[in-house]
Structure 1
Amino acid sequence: MLLDPQRTVYRSFGLGSSYFKVMRFGSLLKYSEYRAGDRDFPDVPPHLLEDLYQMGGDYLLDDKGRVLLSHPSKDPMDRPSVAAILRAADPAGRSL
């Protein structure tokens, strides 16, 4: 896990912010499920709310810094599958 408060690595991966991707209907519908299901939103520290429209991604690097998996999120709910992460972690197909 990498903490990048200045977003240097974040920008080097070409990530940015998008009002339209974060506020699109599918995302808002997913957020509304919390209210409909009477569930609480996760607590978010105030300093992480600086850029509500920040788009994320999932990246897996090896010990030499080579990128094994690059998955920039298309929307806030977009994540790679566990199978994709495991395949990227062991491209030779050995059992982890």
Structure 2
Amino acid sequence: KNSRREETEHRSLDTHSIEVVVVSFGCQEGASHWLKETGCQYDMLLDPDRKIYTAFSLGASLKKVLNFSNMLLYAEYVVDNMEFPRGLPSIQDDMFQLGGDFVLDEHGRVLFSHCCQSPIDRPSVEDILSAQ
């Protein structure tokens, strides 16, 4: 399920001795399902009370998630027959919660901070690695 680019980025992070942790606000069942659906090989922490999200000022936004450019990109994915990870019907999810990418040193100091402006807004691996 991982693309060649994702595998290269994964190796790049590994060679820089970076530990990647995915944080989710969902439940254990949903997290396990997402990891399987996406093929993600990183460890995941669950933050159901969104304390980590709050600490890093990660908000939720209907406007940012459902804006025109995102809807256009999703439509292009559909036209290209790209598969989206499928959720479980038994789990309610907050599709408006925005994420972020952060680099912390061994003392917990934030070296790099990127609060996403949309679900597809992610920094490049090069930007993340330059924060070391």
The interval holding the TM-score normalised by the smaller chain is 0.7 to 0.9
Q: Is 1:82 paired with 2:82?
A: no
Q: Report how far residue 50 of structure 1 moved.
A: 2.1
2:116 corresponds in structure 1 to 73
TM-score, reference length from structure 2: 0.61
Question: Structure 2, unaligned stretches of length 5 or more?
Answer: 1-20, 24-44
SS of the equivalent of 2:77 reads: helix
Q: In structure 1, what is the Cα distance between the partners aligned to 2:114 and 2:56?
A: 10
Q: Deviations over 1:36-70 (max 9, x none)?
A: 012221233564x5211011110111111110110
Q: In structure 2, what is the Cα distance between the partners aligned to 1:85 and 1:58?
A: 8
Q: In structure 1, what is the Cα distance between the partners aligned to 2:76 and 2:54?
A: 31
The residue type equivalent to 1:77 in the other structure is: I
Q: In structure 1, what is the Cα distance between the partners aligned to 2:48 and 2:55?
A: 13
SS of the equivalent of 2:103 reads: strand
Q: In structure 2, what is the Cα distance between the partners aligned to 1:15 and 1:39?
A: 28
CA RMSD of aligned residues (A): 1.6
**Equivalences, count:** 88
Q: Deviations over 1:61-95 (max 9, x none)?
A: 11111101100011111111221111102xxxxxx
**Which stretches of structure 1, 4 residues or longer, exceed 6 Å deviation after superposition?**
none
1:11 corresponds in structure 2 to 54
The residue type equivalent to 1:36 in the other structure is: V
SS of the equivalent of 2:128 reads: helix
The change in CA–CA distance for 1:7 and 1:45 in structure 2 (over 3 A counts) is farther
Q: In structure 2, what is the Cα distance between the partners aligned to 1:61 and 1:5?
A: 21
